[in-house]
Amino acid sequence: MKIEDFNFELPEQLIAQVPLKERSSSRMLVVDEKNNTIEHHVFSDIIDYLQAGDILVLNESRVIPARLFGIKAETFAAVECLLLKQIENDQWEVLLKPGKRVKIGTKIIFGEGLLTATCLYRKEDGIFVVEFAYEGIFLEQLEKLGIMPLPPYIHEQLEEKERYQTVYAKTPGSVAAPTAGLHFTCELLEQIRQKGVTICNVILHVGLGTFRPVSVTDTEDHIMHSEYYELCEKNARILRDAKAQKQRIIAVGTTTTRVLESVWQRDGDFIASSGWTDIFIYPGYVWNTIDGLITNFHLPKSTLLMLVSSFTSTELIMRAYNEAILEKYRFFSFGDAMFIKK
């Protein structure tokens, strides 16, 4: 398919700059594939669309304060560093700005030496591999020195760091939030449990590749960046049993969805595993795992928009997006939600 098939015009004022005060008060567009209908709700109504026996799957990855500001050891020139993903031990893939002025062997100092990074090599796509040095625990140093890496289309300051975390975020590693989960509150999750819905977790550490624009004209030419995932044995068993008993599996977010489809693709079943996935889901993909998807509104021509279009149809999703624009829904990370039901 052509990338232009997933394009749309979005008024800039509909890009949400700050989160709502109440997480679950976001609006929710319900797309019903079976009946070919679109309905308008608030997110707290999601409980009415869940039923006893459903499995609700969350991505428990936690965003790390991955944006650092430092200076070169030799010249004292300012350098901005964005962590992308951990390769092994203290080696990370990062973006450096200005990258053209960074040479192999350059040492960058953060926080008057609390943390340093040495540039090991540069990859073809402009990403650097650096090795960090520090005393104590790396994540503790990040908490002291780093800031939250908000997407470039958000220009407002985030007053409360936890609003860019889901309430169930647990395992540090993402450089962007799995934003579909931002609408849940602890109270709403408890109400969902009380209804008889089983909640289980996966991990996918969200990387830059999820949000990078597609630069090719044909979907088949796009190459995804890999992201780390985990599915534990306990939750694999819950999902396996749900499939056997024909219970519905509802994924919260495209990141959760990519874990489930990656595991199924690899093993033909829900088998506990961990590793790296670069799965790219777009129309024509044969689905295996989920019966419903909770998601946000995504950027034009993005791989995330292609994924949700694949789950139902491009025609229905683009119709839903057009209606959301007419009704002035809030878009992207801090925006409103969509629930796609089969």
What confidence tens digit (pLDDT) does each residue in 256-289 have?
Answer: 999 999 999 878 899 999 999 999 999 999 999 9
Ranges under pLDDT 70 in the chain: 209-216, 219-222
The answer, as to whether pTM is greater than 0.75, is yes
pLDDT tens string 227-267: 999 999 999 999 999 999 999 999 999 999 999 999 998 78
Mean pLDDT score across all residues of the chain: 93
Q: According to the 3-state scheme, what is the secondary structure of the chain?
A: CEHHHHCCCCCHHHECCCCCCCHHHCEEEEEECCCCEEEEEEHHHHHHHCCCCCEEEEECEEECCCEEEEEECCCCCEEEEEEEEEEECCEEEEEEECHHHCCCCCEEEEHHHCEEEEEEEECCCCCEEEEEEECCCHHHHHHHHCECCCCCCCCCCCCCHHHHCCCCCCEEEECCCCHHHHHCCHHHHHHHHHCCCEEEEEEECCCHHHCCCCCCCEHHHCCCCCEEEEECHHHHHHHHHHHHCCCCEEEECHHHHHHHHHHHHHHCCCCCEEEEECCCCCCCCCCCCCCEEEEECCCCCCHHHHHHHHHCCHHHHHHHHHHHHHCCCCECCCCCEEEEEC
